[in-house]
Structure 1
Amino acid sequence: MKEEQEAYWNQVAANLERAASKHKYHTLYQKLRRLSGKVKSTNDNFRNADGTFVRSPTERLQRWRQFFEELYNHIPPQGPQSEPPRIEPPEVIVASWQATTQRPRTFSTTLPTSPNHMV
């Protein structure tokens, strides 16, 4: 019995190491969660509009269809449509420092072009 348990745990450890070496982390953590006893159960129970539980896959699809029809199919707003706000184009303003007729200044000294020449 003890040898069987040891063989089982050696096999489990080998499977976990194989999953880790192949970078299959989803499989690795899924097996670890299962071994720890913390299995996350999915709750896919939901109710019809009348409060009864939906059981079959066909009923589930019908319930989803009903849900989205109620969600997206609604009465459009009534009354006159409002106009969008009017947006005026901005006036083009040129600052005094931007408009100039002067020639650009030139450097009085030239910069070195070789990397050996340090300033």
Structure 2
Amino acid sequence: MTTLKAVVRKVRSDGFFPVYIRVVHNRKPGYIKTNKIVDAAHITKTGDITDPVVNEHCSYIIREYSDRLNRTDVSLWDIKEVIDHLTTIDEEVSFSNYARSHISRMEKNGHARTAKN
């Protein structure tokens, strides 16, 4: 199961915090940078973002990402593959390209003999 949340990490040199979407998949975290920033006045002590415009924008992004994840079986993917899937723009995927990526994923997971079939 993959969870998504808008978070801030480190303060920039100008005093603003860049906003990221944290993606946790199989207990491994990953971050996707957004184009939003907040100042310290819009961050609680627990690190939650209180700026309504930034929250609305991040909620929209999280809804889109959730829809994309719900349409795909990502249970066998690692965090890098999930983030790549979320950040790439939808393009028509050919069956041959999908089959090649599935075979390489099977070989990477130690199922080389099954992948040859």
RCO comparison, higher one (Cα < 8 Å, 6+): 2
**Structure with larger Rg:** 1
* Fold shared per TM-score above 0.5: no
TM-score normalised by the chain length of structure 1:
0.21
